[in-house]
Every structure is written in structure tokens, then in C-alpha cells.
Amino acid sequence: MVPVIALVGRPNVGKSTLFNRLTKTRDALVAEIAGLTRDRKYGEGKVGEYPFIVIDTGGISGQEEGIDEAMASQSFQAIKEADIVFFMVDVGAGITAGDRMIADYLRRSGKSAYLIANKIDGKNPDVVLAEFFELGMGEAIPIAAAHNRGITTLVDYVMEKLHPKVEPEEETGYLPDEAERAIEHEQLNIKGTKIAVVGRPNVGKSTLINRFLGEDRVVVYDEAGTTRDSIYIPYERHGQDYTLIDTAGIRRRKNITEAAEKFSIIKTLQAIQDCHVCILVLDARQGIVEQDLHMLSFVLNSGRALVIAINKWDGMDADDKQRVKDEIDRRFGFLTFAEMHFISALHGTGVGHLYDSVDQAYASAMAKWQTNMLTRILEDAVGSHQPPVVRGRRPKLRYAHQGGSNPPIIVVHGNLANDLPEDYRRYLANTFRRVLEIKGTPIRFEFRQGENPFADKTKEVKHSSRRRAEAVERTANVRKNKIEKARKQLKKTYQKPKG
């Protein structure tokens, strides 16, 4: 399960600063959607191999008069969505009525909460943290988010609680996250290609899901309660196993009303993390809006394979269709790897072709390649187009191997590999994509270069060379003096006496 961390506290205690530190971005506004998530910001972070989702909130003041109720309600909603709560306080301001109210709410909620004392820089922790024991939240963890102090210790501490290291001989029943997920999926009969149907509200996700399953089909498994709080629906088509991940919480068509279709950022993020292929559904009649771009950014950042379905294509006249196509070309022109389909989920037009793209994207995302094959492709690419000279030297790319799947990762080794310009990296990516016939999924490259064992000994080498040169010069001078002395002696010996 990808854990969700909510940052709560009074306004101006440093929640947004900590949010940016955890997501390693500047003003990391991943999604800000009017109404539903107006004052909640969602971002993704990672510690080692463990990802997590962060929610930033506007703040809770605790004042009965003048309180922004909408902002406070968003904070309380974030607490409900979260697995872990970071309750932030300002050590400079001390304990306020708002802090007491939030602490009381968290104790009653039963959530796993950590008290974070921010703005600790320049202060004695032993002195300023003592008063916060009064909140009954345990010992406060001191940080200075603005100066990035204590952040790593904080996150490592929390991740250790979530993912404890268990010795092999200990019989604890603990399973790593991947193994636990595999057992869960086996119990739920989840197998085959996992497809997440994502998109903003009312674009036709539920209609498309029911079109996939068939009007009268009995759903094999359609109950909530998995660790990811999404609906996993295994089914079979033409002998091929699939599992739909329904982020909208849809059951069967007869139980669906338009008002019941809810949008959840958390469900969507977790579904994207867990799927093999995302189908991003757009509304052709409304065109591309900001929410569509936010959803697309989630998918691209996760590296998942992508198929785009432009829904509600039926009934549009030729001019409107051309307008939509022009807008897609303008705003999605960079998505050269993703297949796009114009469909009508309601009438089934074009839906069958989605499977072809899903199967193709899945095959590319999960493909395995031998090192010798990837190295040959690299050698051919370099032979056709040499890397440009960098600081007077031309990079030498030695070999390539696969570093992972979903998305495919190609690792390239060589001298000055990290210094390759962006256009040459794109050239390599396009070459590998063309030769390997990778379609429907992004491809990521990692460039690694061998460490120079003398890189940190430059001064030592210079000093050593200088000493050797000085020694040679001294020896030469001694020799020169000896030769000169011998010459004078010979001249004196053979010089004829006068008279």
C-alpha cells in the first residue's frame, strides 16, 4: 500500500514548506481542483524504494469567529483520507487554542499522528519542546523545514515504522509489501493486465467500465475493502485475463446514478501506482481542461503505460471534431508514444480498439531484453551519430542493460555519460524505441559513468609531479656543475706553462 501522509496544523506553521521538501519540488501543486480539493494539495514523494503521497492543507485556526470553515473542513477531510498525520506546530508561537483543538481531534480520531515542531533553528530543543508535551501527542520531532534541517531524519523514522526491517530468523508473519500485494491479488483472483480507468468526473469512466464488462455481466469481485480502497474487477475477454481498477467506486449500471460518481485523488493516485496500463478518459464535447492535464501529470510521473480515450465522439459535427483534434495536437503533441482513440462508451463505438492498444502497451511496458541486444543497439546508434564533444572530450558509451520494467528503464554506461546533452539523450531514446518497437509506454534512461579513482587526488598528483620535476632539475644542475668542474680541471691540466 502506498501510504498517505496529511500535513495539518494552524495556518503559517510551515506545512507548505514541508510539503515542498517531501515532494522535492518548488510549490509542488500537483492538483488543485475547485470545490472538491480547493485547499488540499496532493504530491508524491519517495524514500529509497518506498513511495508515499503527501496532502497539504490550508490550516485550522480553532477560532469560533472568523474561521474559514471551508479550509478547516478540507483539513479534516485530509485527516480522514490519510494513513499518517504530521501535526505541525510553530515552536516560536508556543501552544495555542488551535493547537489544543487539533490535538484533541487527532487523539479521538485514532489516526497514527506525529507531532512536528517546526522553526526550531536558532533555539534550544530541550527548552522549547518541553511545553508541547502538554498536547498529549508524545515527544515532538524538531525540524526546520525552511532550511531543510531534520527532514531526512523525520521521514526515515516514519518509513521505518511503516516498513520495519525483520530479521529472517524471526517468525513475525511480516511480509514485504510486494509479497503481501501478490498474496492479496491471488486471494481476490486478480490476474492479467491491470487497467486503471482514470479521468475527471462525468467524462464517462463508469460507462466505459460497464461497456468493458458487458451490460448483463455478473461482476466477479466488486466490493471495496482492499488495502488500496479501489474496486478490483477481474474478467476475461477472448481468453485473455484483465483486471479493471475502478477509481470511481462504480458497481453495476443499475446501481449507478450520475450524482453517485465521485472523484478521489487518493484513489486515483493509488490505482495508477498499482496498474499496468492507464486509460485516460477525456470528454470530447468539453475539450481539454486543467483537470485533464493534472490527471495526465499523475500518469506521466508514475511512468505507467498510457492509452487516451476521447469519449462522447458521437453526435459531434465535423467542425467540432476538427476543433478537438487541433486542440489535442496542440496540447498533447509531446505524447508521441501514447495511442489515442475517439470513442463512444455509451454506444460502444471504437471501444474494441482500446484493447489492441492496451495489449500493445502492456507488452512494451513489461518486455525483457538481453544486455547484448541493448548494447548492439547502443553501438549502432553511436556509430550513426557520435555524441558531441563535451569540455574538449567526446563521451564514450560502452554498453547498455535493462534496469527495470513498467516503465522500461535502459541503463547506459560510459565515460562522460552524465554529461550527454538533452538532444542526444532524446536521440538515443527515439532510437531504442524504434528498434525495440516500444509503443504505449514511456521509456526512461539512466546514464552512469565510471568513477575516476584519481578524481579526488588532483592536488596530490600535481604536488607529486612538481616534486619529481624539482628533483630532476636538481639532479640536472648537479650533473651540470660536475661537468663544468671537470671541464675546468681538464683545461687546467693540459694548459701549457708560460715561458
Higher-pLDDT residue of 347, 187? 347
Would you state the pLDDT for residue 450? 67
| Assigned domain for 181 exists | no
- Helices 371-384 and 422-436 cross at an angle (nearest 10°) of 130
Would you state the pLDDT for residue 168? 43
On whether the CB atoms of residues 232 and 190 are closer than 8 A, the answer is yes
On whether the CB atoms of residues 431 and 405 are closer than 8 A, the answer is no
Pick left, alpha or beta for residue 279 (phi over 0 → left; psi -120 to 50 → alpha; otherwise beta).
Answer: beta
pLDDT band at 171 (very low <50, low <70, confident <90, very high): very low
Are 438 and 319 contained in the same domain? Answer: no
The mean pLDDT of the chain is 78
Q: Is the pLDDT of residue 228 over 50?
A: no
Are 240 and 139 contained in the same domain? Answer: no
Residue 90's nearest CA partner among 63, 112, 61, 53 is 61
Q: What percent of the chain has pLDDT over 90?
A: 31
Are 147 and 36 contained in the same domain? Answer: yes
Q: Is the pLDDT of residue 227 over 50?
A: no
Give the residue-averaged pLDDT of 297-307.
90
Residue 288's nearest CA partner among 297, 278, 275 is 297
Give the residue-averaged pLDDT of 205-220.
66
pLDDT band at 222 (very low <50, low <70, confident <90, very high): very low
Interatomic CA distance for residues 327 and 330, integer angstroms:
5
On whether the CB atoms of residues 39 and 215 are closer than 8 A, the answer is no
Higher-pLDDT residue of 108, 61? 108
Interatomic CA distance for residues 430 and 205, integer angstroms:
32
Give the residue-averaged pLDDT of 210-219.
60
CATH assignment at residue 79: 3.40.50.300
Q: What is the pTM of this model?
A: 0.61
Are 225 and 310 contained in the same domain? Answer: yes
Q: Is the pLDDT of residue 400 over 60?
A: yes
CA distances from 112 to 136, 229, 295, 395, 487 (A): 13, 18, 29, 51, 94
Are 327 and 252 contained in the same domain? Answer: yes
| Assigned domain for 351 exists | yes
Q: Is the pLDDT of residue 322 over 90?
A: yes
On whether the CB atoms of residues 306 and 314 are closer than 8 A, the answer is no
Higher-pLDDT residue of 453, 1? 1
Residues spanned by the domain of 484? 456-494
Give the residue-averaged pLDDT of 275-288.
93
Q: How many CB atoms lie within 10 A of CB 475?
A: 10
CATH assignment at residue 390: 3.30.300.20
- Looking at the structure of the chain, the number of domains it has is 4
Residue 88's nearest CA partner among 29, 162, 5 is 5
Are 283 and 426 contained in the same domain? Answer: no
Give the residue-averaged pLDDT of 364-375.
95
Higher-pLDDT residue of 192, 496? 192
Q: Is the pLDDT of residue 442 over 70?
A: yes
| Assigned domain for 88 exists | yes
Would you state the pLDDT for residue 68? 54
Name the pairing type of β-strands 50-56 and 231-237.
unpaired
Residue 36's nearest CA partner among 55, 63, 10, 60 is 55
| Assigned domain for 173 exists | no
DSSP 8-class letter at 33: B
Would you state the pLDDT for residue 77? 81
Q: Which residues pair with 409 in a beta bridge?
A: 404, 444
DSSP per residue, 191-259: -SEEEEEE-STTSSHHHHHHHHH-TTPPPS-----STT-SEEEEEEETTEEEEEEETT----GGG--GG
pLDDT tens digits for range 141-155: 999 988 888 888 888
pLDDT band at 480 (very low <50, low <70, confident <90, very high): confident
Rounded to a whole number of angstroms, the CA Rg of the chain reads 32
Are 278 and 418 contained in the same domain? Answer: no
| Assigned domain for 104 exists | yes
Would you state the pLDDT for residue 78? 83
Would you state the pLDDT for residue 414? 92
Peptide bond into 407 cis (omega under 30): yes
Interatomic CA distance for residues 381 and 273, integer angstroms:
33
Highest-confidence segment of 16-30, 53-67, 334-348, 459-473: 334-348
| Assigned domain for 167 exists | no
Q: What percent of the chain has pLDDT over 70?
A: 76
Are 115 and 14 contained in the same domain? Answer: yes
Interatomic CA distance for residues 307 and 357, integer angstroms:
7
Higher-pLDDT residue of 138, 170? 138
| Assigned domain for 295 exists | yes
Q: Which residues pair with 33 in a beta bridge?
A: 37
pLDDT tens digits for range 15-56: 888 988 888 765 444 344 333 334 567 777 877 777 888 888
* 228: its cell numbers: 488500496
Give the residue-averaged pLDDT of 261-273.
65
* End residue of a domain, out of 162, 195, 227: 162
Would you state the pLDDT for residue 134? 85
| CB environment 308-344: b (16+ within 10 A), e (fewer) | bbbbbbeebeeeeeeebeeebeeebeebebbbbbbbb
On whether the CB atoms of residues 448 and 417 are closer than 8 A, the answer is yes
Interatomic CA distance for residues 15 and 6, integer angstroms:
10
On whether the CB atoms of residues 229 and 267 are closer than 8 A, the answer is yes
Are 247 and 392 contained in the same domain? Answer: no
Interatomic CA distance for residues 246 and 204, integer angstroms:
12
Are 356 and 400 contained in the same domain? Answer: no
Among 127-131, 138-142, 180-184, 297-301, the minimum mean pLDDT is found in 180-184
| Assigned domain for 174 exists | no
Are 443 and 358 contained in the same domain? Answer: no
Interatomic CA distance for residues 103 and 145, integer angstroms:
21
On whether the CB atoms of residues 402 and 368 are closer than 8 A, the answer is yes
Are 11 and 156 contained in the same domain? Answer: yes
